[in-house]
Amino acid sequence: MKRSIVALAALATLSAAAASTAAYAAKDSLLGAAPERGTGLPSGQCLRSRDIRAHTIADSNTLLIRGGDKQTYRVTMAGGCLAGATQSDPIITRNPPGADRICKPIDLDIGIARDGFETRCIVESIVRLSPEQVAMVPKKLRP
């Protein structure tokens, strides 16, 4: 009897933790709901990695970058990869060998350098923001 009460309590705790994690992951960014996983840029809007000029961290899953074209891009990460990162933490970008254009999430390999260690992130989507969306971003978070 005691064993089943302990098992039920453990199951309830795990269920509550899973629900809380799912709710946190589903939380919308200040820009609204994240784009669908796998969303990339149309071929005419692709970004070159060497043209990334600035970045800001909007929330634990959202990186905003400014390209050399002065456009702002929203890069959505999986799993709260940016949690605990600060605006001054360097981002590390890598492209597959021979590739410089970023069009799809798979084209962008991002890491965040913190305290001498790198945390690698899984990019889920990348979109170019409209001027209206950029206007919604608080000035201190604009790249």
Instruction: Tell me, yes or no, whether 5 lies in a domain.
Output: no
Phi and psi at 70, nearest 5°, equal 65, 15
Q: What is the mean pLDDT of residues 65-93?
A: 90
Instruction: Tell me, yes or no, whether 133 lies in a domain.
Output: yes
Q: Are 122 and 79 in contact (CB under 8 A)?
A: yes
Residue 62 pLDDT exceeds 90: yes
Phi and psi at 58, nearest 5°, equal -85, -40
Question: What pLDDT does 19 receive?
Answer: 37
Question: What pLDDT does 49 receive?
Answer: 84
Q: Are 41 and 126 in contact (CB under 8 A)?
A: yes
Q: Return d(Cα 65, Cα 24) in angstroms, integer.
A: 23
Of residues 7 and 49, the one with the higher pLDDT is: 49
Q: What is the mean pLDDT of residues 27-48?
A: 84
95: pLDDT confidence band, cut at 50, 70 and 90?
confident
Question: What pLDDT does 133 receive?
Answer: 92
Domain ranges, residue 136: 29-141
Instruction: Tell me, yes or no, whether 1 lies in a domain.
Output: no
127: pLDDT confidence band, cut at 50, 70 and 90?
very high
Work out the number of other CB atoms within 10 angstroms of the CB of residue 53.
11
Q: Is the dihedral of CA 139, 93, 76, 126 positive or negative?
A: positive
Q: What is the mean pLDDT of residues 68-73?
A: 91
Structure-block tokens of residue 13: 């705790």
Instruction: Tell me, yes or no, whether 8 lies in a domain.
Output: no
Instruction: Tell me, yes or no, whether 9 lies in a domain.
Output: no
Structure-block tokens of residue 58: 């909007």
One-letter amino acid for residue 35 of the chain:
P
Give the number of domains in the chain: 1
